[in-house]
Structure 1
Amino acid sequence: MLSNEAIFGIIENVAKNVLLRVFLGIKLNIKIKISG
């Protein structure tokens, strides 16, 4: 069984990955809108 620290670490990593993808997606959308 995972400890609370391990669970929070996993959640933190997932959250960072999601935020990074969202951030990059927004940047790409802005670039597309500007160039388009």
Structure 2
Amino acid sequence: MLEIDEMHGNIVKVNPLVNWTFDETWDYVKSNNCPV
């Protein structure tokens, strides 16, 4: 998913996690000791 942020100079924001499932997200968080 892409988003153009017009409020900050038309920067492009990319969200690569948009297609991840809930379980895939939490598996990654746990496997990589991400703070939540």
What TM-score do the two structures reach when normalised by structure 2?
A: 0.40
What TM-score do the two structures reach when normalised by structure 1?
A: 0.40
Q: Which has the higher contact order (CA 8 A, sep 6+)?
A: 2
Whichever of the two has the greater Rg, that structure is 1
Which of the pair is proportionally richer in strand? 2
Which of the pair is proportionally richer in helix? 1
